[in-house]
Amino acid sequence: MKNEQGRYTVPEFKKIFRLTPQKKAGKQRDYPGELLNQLQQCKLPLPVREFKFHPVRKWRFDLCYEALRLAVEVEGILPHELGKTRHQTVKGMTGDLEKYNAATLHGWRLLRFTPKMVENGQALAVIEKALLIFSPKKEGNGN
C-alpha cells in the first residue's frame, strides 16, 4: 500500500521487493545503482550519479542531491572472504577521509552506507528522512 504521496513506505518496500543479499560471482555489485533503483521504486526524488563536487580534484560522490548539498557514499567494502578493495587499505581509507573532509569544508552533508545497509533498506530509510529534513519547506497560501 502506498502512502498519501503515492510512495511505498520503507517497510512495505522491503516486503514487496524482498531486499535480500544477492551474490554475483566474480563481480562487485553496483550498490549505488541498487540504491538508486530503490529510490525510484519508492517514488522518491532521484539523485545524480557520480557527481563531481570538487573544483580541482576529480572526486565524485556516488549519489548527490546537488540543490540540497546532500551527498551519498556507499563504501566499497567487501566481506573478508571476497577479498579487499582499495577502500579497505590504509592508503585507500586515508584518501576517502581526505575526500569526505574536503566535502564537509565545501558545505556538503554526507551520508555514508555499507553495502549491507543498501541490501537491508537502512540506507533507503535514512535518505528518505534526510530528504524530509533538508528539503525546502513549502509555505501555505494563508488559508
d(CA 119, CA 115): 6
Residue closest to 110 by CA, chosen among 73, 76, 56, 135: 73
Model pTM score: 0.75
Q: What is the mean pLDDT of residues 27-43?
A: 91
Per-residue confidence (pLDDT) for residue 135, from 0 to 100: 92
Lowest-pLDDT choice from 9-13, 24-28, 54-58, 69-73: 24-28
Average pLDDT value over all residues in the chain: 83
Summarize pLDDT for 117-132 with one digit per residue, the tens: 999 999 999 999 999 9
d(CA 63, CA 48): 5
Q: What is the DSSP string of 13-56?
A: HHHHHT------TTS---HHHHHHHHHHHTTPPPPEEEEE--SS
Summarize pLDDT for 74-111 with one digit per residue, the tens: 997 655 445 555 656 788 889 999 999 999 999 999 99
Per-residue confidence (pLDDT) for residue 74, from 0 to 100: 94
Report residue 138's pLDDT band, with 50, 70 and 90 as the boundaries: confident
d(CA 103, CA 53): 8
| pLDDT > 70 in the chain, percent | 69
Per-residue confidence (pLDDT) for residue 29, from 0 to 100: 84
pLDDT over 60 at 61, yes or no:
yes
